[in-house]
Amino acid sequence: MRLAEKTAIVTGASSGIGRAIALLFAQEGATVVAVDVTSDVVEGGTPVIDELAKVSERSVFLQGDISNANDVQRIVDDVAGRFGRVDILVNNAVVRGGASLVDTDEAEWDRVTDVNLKGAYLCLRAAVRQMLTQEIINEARGRIVNITSQHGMIAAPDDFAYGVSKAGMVYMTKQVASDYGKDHIICNAVAPGKILTGKGGKAIDPKMLNYSRERTPMPRLGTPIDVAHAVLFLASDEATYITGHNMMVDGGWMAR
C-alpha cells in the first residue's frame, strides 16, 4: 500500500504501459484517475475501468484528449474537486510515428507532437498549477513521472517525430524538476526500452524485434509491468531526494 491515500492521474491508461501503471497503482492503494481518448483496449480485453473496479471502487475513468487544453484543465479541475488534490501525474499517453525526416509530412509531425509533446506540456502545466496550491505531505506537494524512451536520447530508426517528442519530454522533466524543486514538486521520468505490450503492427515486425533483441543485453524484452514497477517507485514516498532523473528500464539497452 505504498500509495495509500494518494490520488493519481494516469494518461493513456486504457492500454499497454499506462494500463499496467494504473492497475499497479490501484493495487498499491491509490485512487486512480485513468485518462484516455478512448476506453477501447489496443491489445484487446476489458476496459481498464472494469479491471480497476475489481481492485478499488474509488477509481474512475475520464475521457479526454490531452492535446486539447480545455480537456486537460477539465480533468485536473475534476480530480481536484472530487478528491481535494492531485498527488501524482503520470504523463504516459503517446502516439507513434513511423517515418524518417524526409518522409515525415507536416500532418504526421503535428499528429505525433500534439500528443507526445504538446499534450505532455499541457498536463504538466495544469498539474503543477494545482500542486502549487497544495499542502506539503512527506516533503512533496506533488510527484510527476513522465514516460520517455531510450529514443529520446539516441536515434529512433525511421521514427523522427516520435524521437524528437521523447527528447522534448526528457528536457521537460529536467526543467520542471529544476524550476519547481524549491516548491516541493518532484518530477522524474522512466525511459522504457523495447516493451512488448500486446500491440500488433510495426511493434512486432520481425525486423524491429530482431533489432531490439540485438540491442538488449538481457535475454528478454520488456513487459508493461517492468515499467510500472519503476514508475511506482518514483511516484511513492520511497523515492526521496530524487528529482530530474530519467530512469532507464531497458534491459541494458543504453549500456551497449
Strands 31-36 and 88-91: unpaired
Q: All 3 cell numbers of residue 139?
A: 516533503
156 contacts 112 by C-beta, under 8 angstroms: no
Q: For residue 129, which of 183, 58, 169, 82 has the smallest C-alpha distance?
A: 183
Within 13 Å and on the Cβ side, how many CA atoms surround 17? 29
- Is 162 tagged catalytic? yes
Residue identified by cell 500542486 is: 131
Question: Phi and psi (nearest 5°) for 127?
Answer: -70, -45
Active-site hit among 162, 171, 180, 211:
162
Q: For residue 61, which of 43, 45, 40 has the smallest C-alpha distance?
A: 40
d(CA 146, CA 92) in angstroms, rounded, equals 6
Q: All 3 cell numbers of residue 200?
A: 500488433
Catalytic residues: 162
